[in-house]
Amino acid sequence: MDLSLENLTSSQKDELMDSVKQQIAIANMQELITKMTEKCFIKCIQKPGKELDSSEQKCINMCMDRYMDSWNLVSRTYSQRLRRESQMK
């Protein structure tokens, strides 16, 4: 059985692309959560214990907010760049 993309119908190609996009989005979200957790834990938790004190909670909330803002900015900028480059071709 030949699994070449050339043998797929247009709708099958669209389905495949949608599936790949979903998988990429999930992988990106997993990476975001992992990185954010690592960075904010290292930055905010000095002595791990059973619970977070109020300053640790505040630090983590602020760290996560900043990390998400940065991630979104980079993602938007990268997407805009890709669109510009694809329009130039």
- List domains and CATH numbers for the chain: 10-88 (1.10.287.810)
User: How many CA atoms lie less than 13 Å away from 3 in the CB half-sphere?
Assistant: 1
Q: How far apart are CA 33 and CA 49, in angstroms?
A: 21
Place of tokens 């803002």: 69
Query: What's the whole-number mean pLDDT along residues 35-63?
Result: 93
81 membership: H or E segment, kind and range = helix 54-88
pLDDT for the residue numbered 3: 60
pLDDT for the residue numbered 28: 87
Beta-sheet strands, E only, within 1-89: none
pLDDT for the residue numbered 1: 46
Q: How far apart are CA 29 and CA 66, in angstroms?
A: 16
AA identity, residue 55: S
Are 43 and 59 spatial neighbours (Cβ–Cβ below 8 Å)? yes
AA identity, residue 40: C
With 0.85 as the threshold, say if the pTM is over it.
no
